[in-house]
A and B are shown apart, each in its own frame.
Chain A
Amino acid sequence: MGRHNVFYFAREGAFNMFSHGFMSFAAIGITVACLLIMGTFSLVAVNANAMLEEMEAQNQMLAFVDKSLSEVEARALEKKLMEVNNVAKVTFISNEEAAAAFRSRYEDDELFQGLPDENFRHRFAVDLKDIGYMSKTKAALEAIPGIGEGNVSAYEDEAAGFITIRNVAGIVCVVLIAVLFVVSVFIIANTIKLTTFDRRDEIAIMKMVGATNGFIRWPFVYEGFLLGLFSAVTGFFLQWALYEAVARSVATNDTINLITIVPFSDMWTNVAVIFAVAGMLIGVGGSLSAIRKFLQV
């Protein structure tokens, strides 16, 4: 493709976009709406995932050390625990610390205040890399001499619940985004098809004088690209404004900090890239799909 052709295609594409102002406005509007819906679902998914990760991190296991081991011997087990697959972090808690924590939790209950430290065992708080492998990790920890079977407490049902929620949320999000993407391409293809229909005579003349399909297609590809780019830029700023508004509203109403909102500043580059790529794919895909019919002459 010659340099003059590149300029020609770009100029024709831009000219076509502005000369069919209303249709272009409609195409941009529809694409922005689709990007906003897709973006909102994705951002909700990102926040849900962040909250789940936070909750997962709090889902620790406790490995109780055999009562016959001294504190020094118990601490020596830490290295072995760290060697177990899927263990992210191990924190030693002596029986004194455990007793103190227990008493402070029930400081209003005199019955528990007199419990001697010896009633409590040394233990390790174990953080996992992936709670999906909680059962296997529990078995591996119980196999360590000094811990033993039945001495690891784990909330396996809760972990399974988190995993189910995460998987379902992931699938729903991917399906919704895929459906919205296809719908967007279909809508923009139909919008561009209308502008293409206006120019079917021009296309027929181009075919008649010997233009290749590629040559005819390029201005439409540029037009779709520009429509997608405009849509992406508009959609990005609208998404930002919408996100900030929702985040402010959540912060105002959620006084007990139950919901953690990921700051937009942590995600803006990803959002911008995804919007730009999605916008341009929708625009170019829509254009190519629209013009296909008119090239069959």
Chain B
Amino acid sequence: MIRLTDVVKEYPNGTHALNGLSMEIQDGEFVFMVGPSGSGKSTVIKLLIGEIEPSQGRVMVNGFSLRNIKEWQIPHMRRTVGVIFQDFRLIEHKSVYDNMVFAMRAVGAGPKEIKKRIPYCLHLVGLESKSRRHPSELSGGEQQRVAIARALLNNPSTIIADEPTGNLDPARSLEIMRLLERINALGTTVLVVTHEKDLVNRFDKRVIMLEQGRVVSDGKGYYGRKI
């Protein structure tokens, strides 16, 4: 579960990115977070993955309180969250399979676990036949699917996708969203940050809208219930 309570984030340069933001996402939910540039979406993601700390308020992610989290606890918290970025963040000189091995190795997984888990995740995203290809040999949509497979490797309870379709054409974008919907159906909480109105409106999901560091609407559809 994700819960932000009265969160304020002020950066050292004086910018107020979040101004008393509160929101809650239950386990197993599929949520879109939308809002114009500068509304605080990226700050929320950085808070949720422990990259920054809130100036005020409480942030809870999968049982970890990020307000006073110890440094050694952050990696353990991150293993409960899979993150997907617009630019895929794959290692170019490694094959798809080796990208996955790299991510599993990084959390200390052993060879047996790696051999078992990677084919399963690649199968989930439909890329088992392309495991020996390098990222540059794949289309944008395929690269994003590899990134999704990588995010699933540690069996996270939450997937956070930051503009996952920003670099893709509409057809591929829909494909990625359908894939995330399928992952959500398997029980994983999914939070998608986007500003693609048409795409959001194709799914009947909860939408949280931010503006100036606050939640201004929360409900089904792009224009949800006004707070």
Residues of A in contact with B (beta carbons under 8 Å apart): 2, 4-5, 8, 201-202, 204-213, 215-216, 297
Query: Are A2's CB and B150's CB within 8 A?
Result: no
Query: Are B111's CB and A4's CB within 8 A?
Result: yes
Query: Are B89's CB and A204's CB within 8 A?
Result: yes
**Chain A residues with CB under 8 A of B153:** 209
Task: Kindly report which residue of chain A lies nearest to residue B49, judged by CB atoms.
Answer: A208
**Chain A residues with CB under 8 A of B91:** 201-202, 205
Query: Are A5's CB and B108's CB within 8 A?
Result: yes
Given contacts A8-B105, A205-B91, 17 further A-B pairs with CB under 8 A are: A202-B91, A205-B89, A205-B106, A206-B102, A206-B106, A208-B78, A208-B83, A208-B89, A209-B103, A209-B107, A209-B154, A210-B75, A210-B78, A211-B106, A211-B107, A213-B71, A215-B107
A-B pairs with the 10 shortest C-beta distances? A210-B79, A211-B106, A210-B78, A206-B106, A210-B75, A212-B75, A209-B103, A210-B107, A209-B106, A4-B110
Query: Which parts of B116-149 form the interface with A (CB within 8 Å)?
Result: none
Q: How many residues of B sit at the interface, in one of the four size bands?
A: 20 to 34
CB distance from B37 to the nearest CB of A (A): 23
**Chain B residues with CB under 8 A of A297:** 51
Query: Which parts of B61-80 form the interface with A (CB within 8 Å)?
Result: 71-72, 75-79
Task: Kindly report which residue of chain A lies nearest to residue B72, judged by CB atoms.
Answer: A212
Task: Kindly report which residue of chain A lies nearest to residue B104, judged by CB atoms.
Answer: A209
Query: Are A210's CB and B111's CB within 8 A?
Result: no
Q: Tell me, in angstroms, the Cα distance from A205 to B108 when the chains sit together.
A: 14
Q: For B76, give its contact among A8, A210, A215, A216 (CB under 8 Å).
A: A210
Taking each of A202, A206, A209, which has the highest tally of chain B beta carbons within 10 Å of its own beta carbon? A209
Q: Tell me, in angstroms, the Cα distance from A184 to B41 when the chains sit together.
A: 45
Residues of B in contact with A (beta carbons under 8 Å apart): 49, 51, 71-72, 75-79, 83, 89, 91, 102-103, 105-108, 110-111, 150, 153-154
CB distance from B94 to the nearest CB of A (A): 9
* Number of A-B contacts defined by CB within 8 Å: 53
**Chain A residues with CB under 8 A of B79:** 209-210
Given the known interface contacts A2-B110, A5-B108, A210-B107, the answer about A205 and B78 at a Cβ–Cβ threshold of 8 Å is no
15 contacts between A and B (CB under 8 A): A2-B110, A5-B108, A201-B91, A202-B91, A204-B89, A205-B91, A209-B150, A209-B154, A210-B106, A210-B107, A211-B75, A211-B107, A212-B72, A212-B75, A215-B106
Task: Kindly report which residue of chain A lies nearest to residue B103, judged by CB atoms.
Answer: A209
Task: Kindly report which residue of chain B lies nearest to residue A205, judged by CB atoms.
Answer: B89
**Chain B residues with CB under 8 A of A202:** 91, 102
CB distance from A182 to the nearest CB of B (A): 28
**Chain B residues with CB under 8 A of A206:** 102-103, 106
Q: Tell me, in angstroms, the Cα distance from A223 to B171 when the chains sit together.
A: 45
**Chain A residues with CB under 8 A of B78:** 207-210
**Chain B residues with CB under 8 A of A8:** 105
Q: Tell me, in angstroms, the Cα distance from A51 to B108 when the chains sit together.
A: 57
CB distance from A12 to the nearest CB of B (A): 9
Task: Kindly report which residue of chain B lies nearest to residue A206, judged by CB atoms.
Answer: B106
Q: Tell me, in angstroms, the Cα distance from A24 to B205 when the chains sit together.
A: 53
Query: Are B111's CB and A205's CB within 8 A?
Result: no
Task: Kindly report which residue of chain B lies nearest to residue A3, judged by CB atoms.
Answer: B110
